[in-house]
Amino acid sequence: MLNEFWYKNAIIYSLDLETFMDGNGDGVGDFAGLTRRLEYLHSLGVDVIWLAPFQPTPNKDNGYDIQDYYGVDDRHGSLGDFAEFMNLANNLGIKVIIDLVINHTSDQHAWFQDARKGEDARYHDWYVWSKEKPEDWDEGVIFPGVQEATWTKDKKAKAYYFHRFYDFQPDLNIGNPKVREEINRIMGFYLSMGVAGFRVDAVPFVLETQEPGTNGNRKIRFEYLEDMRRFLQWRNGSAILLGEANIEPKEAKKYFGDKGGGLHLMFNFFVNQHLFYALATGESQPLADALEETAGIYPTAQWAHFLRNHDELDLGRLTDEQRQKVFDAFGPTKKMQLYERGIRRRLAPMLGNRARIELAYSLMFALPGTPVMRYGDEIGMGDDLSLKEREAVRTPMQWSDEENAGFSSAEAKDLVHPVINEGPYDYQMLNVERQLREEGSLLTWTKRMVRLRKECPEIGYGEWEILKTKVPSVLAMTYRYRSTLVLILHNFAGGPVVIRPKAFNDDPTPLVDLIEPLEIELDEKGGYEIRIGSYGYRWFRLRGVKPVMSTPAKAGK
């Protein structure tokens, strides 16, 4: 049933090979290590692993500076190790999607090294050049305070090249059909190795073309995205594109495509920022508005919802006043902030206590879309603000209380990033091994919520609606799919509240609590009286309607 829409009710787990598990003891995470941890991910209930870039790289931007698209960086193993990993993951029923970083290459890529030789070089037109220094050479930087320009002179080429990101990441010229053919070859290569799709990095910048020698006259060519989608679907009808595009809500439909011919999934950065605003202030209305503003996408398309990722928490789409409130609550010092727009902390230290972490996670699983978890957040890992920029949230996974958190047998000085070994997030107290054995641990709770999300296909497939509750701290949502109805409530305030939704249909059927063994009957006034605790969350399904089943229960007799 609906198998081609598997991405609508999948649990995605994102990780970076480098910091997940080191199998060969050199201090750097690798495929051998990740392969050994597949059972853990399987038992957590993960359906899809999103793997950050693992290809050969000078590694000046966490691997997002690729030197060769068709290989595996030596530090992570070999292409054979990747194939081994793919085989075992697929055997466990876990799909794998990988990063597709095609806005730019590393400046060490052979294409760029050739392109620098001059206009006659074979790969010259694979990049974006200007003979003159563009007037707006320092406009449009992505990393203010760190990145100085978007056009930099290459001495060898005697010309300026365009780089939306760092100067060691020259932009590929997507307007060149040969570049687009090569992107198809890259996708085809990994599809043939069994990946289920791609997380497409920096989509708006991939699609943008511009007048030579200027940052102006930019145009986003959505037809390139449709080309990519068509190629993908020809090769594998169930493969997906998950796009990274931090855009205005009104732009979303173009990325998904009018008829669903664009991205299958796209991260909802807009809702993410308003979600943190709700967590910071206790006000649910801006989040409800953000959900409404991003609604109405093509039925086969879907949003991906997340709490934290490998970057800073970007708050650039909030008003100045809203952003300041989130900074005050979750990133009050300059050291916690980054790029004038975000917070470089992990979820648990920002939220500070278990009740709010549960609230945030429950909300992510309940938002209409596909949830994307971040490695380590399932055990409430902390951050290391002594590391530079975004590396604060990229410390090694804390597996056990053994040396180096069980991540690696290397000497501590050889680790890719130091483990957190002091304070409330010290690996000796906070680790997977311990939480697996503790009934009340965050990990045990998270596993249960993953299972609950899977038991509610209404969230991914259904129609959702926001209920008015007259309680400003509460977000109340219903999800209808076929003949079933799920009601999920979140209270962003630090105090209990009561709400009274009216009956949902003509039958006086009770609401069945999906977390506790309770039911709430319709009262004589024709409504349900529901209490929600401080930072609480409640999940219900309306009793008395047919369960979601595609085949009769008697099948097989």
Q: Which residues bind Mg ion (CB under 5 A)?
A: 22, 24, 26, 28, 30
286, 292, 295, 102: CA torsion to nearest 10: -20
* Residue number with CB closer to Mg ion (29 or 331): 29
Q: Residue 54 and residue 52: Cα distance in Å, rounded?
A: 6
CB of 34 to Mg ion, least distance (A): 10
Q: Residue 293 and residue 288: Cα distance in Å, rounded?
A: 9
* Residue number with CB closer to Mg ion (215 or 404): 404
* Residue number with CB closer to Mg ion (78 or 214): 78
Q: Is 65 a catalytic residue?
A: no
CB of 25 to Mg ion, least distance (A): 7
* Residue number with CB closer to Mg ion (24 or 35): 24
* Residue number with CB closer to Mg ion (30 or 73): 30
* Residue number with CB closer to Mg ion (52 or 279): 52
Exposure of 347 by Cβ count < 10 A (0-12 exposed, 13-18 middle, 19+ buried)?
buried
Residue length of the chain: 557
Q: Residue 52 and residue 98: Cα distance in Å, rounded?
A: 6
* Residue number with CB closer to Mg ion (285 or 409): 409
529, 533, 536, 537: CA torsion to nearest 10: -20
Amino acid letter, residue 91: N
Tokens representing 464 are 């959702």
Q: Residue 128 and residue 299: Cα distance in Å, rounded?
A: 37
What's the DSSP call for residue 292? H
* Residue number with CB closer to Mg ion (63 or 134): 63
Tokens representing 390 are 């975004």
How many CB atoms are closer than 10 A to CB 409? Answer: 14
Kindly list the distances between the CA atom of residue 116 and the CA atoms of 61, 70, 160, 166, 460, in Å, as whole numbers in the listed order: 22, 22, 10, 17, 48
CB of 481 to Mg ion, least distance (A): 44
Kindly list the distances between the CA atom of residue 299 and the CA atoms of 261, 303, 306, 368, in Å, as whole numbers in the listed order: 11, 11, 20, 12
* Residue number with CB closer to Mg ion (16 or 30): 30
CB of 22 to Mg ion, least distance (A): 4
H-type alpha helices, 193-250: 203-207, 222-235
Tokens representing 235 are 């090769």
Tokens representing 547 are 């369960």
CB of 26 to Mg ion, least distance (A): 4
Amino acid letter, residue 161: Y
CB of 16 to Mg ion, least distance (A): 13
CB of 435 to Mg ion, least distance (A): 24
Q: Residue 455 and residue 434: Cα distance in Å, rounded?
A: 27
CB of 408 to Mg ion, least distance (A): 7
Q: Which of 18, 47, 244, 391 is catalytic?
A: 244
- Return left, alpha or beta for 165; rule: phi > 0 is left, psi -120 to 50 is alpha, else beta: beta
Residue partners of 456: CB distance under 8 A and separation at least 6: 479, 486, 514, 539, 541
CB of 373 to Mg ion, least distance (A): 23
Sign of torsion over alpha carbons 325, 328, 331, 336: positive
* Residue number with CB closer to Mg ion (26 or 433): 26
* Residue number with CB closer to Mg ion (9 or 24): 24
DSSP of 250-285, one letter per residue? GGHHHHH-TTS-S-SEEE-HHHHHHHHHHHHHS--H
3-state class (DSSP) for residue 306: strand
CB of 391 to Mg ion, least distance (A): 18
- Return left, alpha or beta for 482; rule: phi > 0 is left, psi -120 to 50 is alpha, else beta: left
With beta carbons less than 8 A apart as the criterion, state whether 140 and 150 touch. yes
Residue partners of 493: CB distance under 8 A and separation at least 6: 282, 473, 534, 535
- Which single residue brings its beta carbon nearest to Mg ion? 30
Q: Is 244 a catalytic residue?
A: yes
Q: Which of 201, 358, 391, 458 is catalytic?
A: 201
| Half-sphere exposure at residue 73, Cβ-oriented, CA atoms within 13 angstroms | 21
Tell me the CA end-to-end span of the chain in Å, nearest whole number. 21
CB of 82 to Mg ion, least distance (A): 14
- Partners of 159 in the beta sheet? 154
Give the active site residues.
201, 244
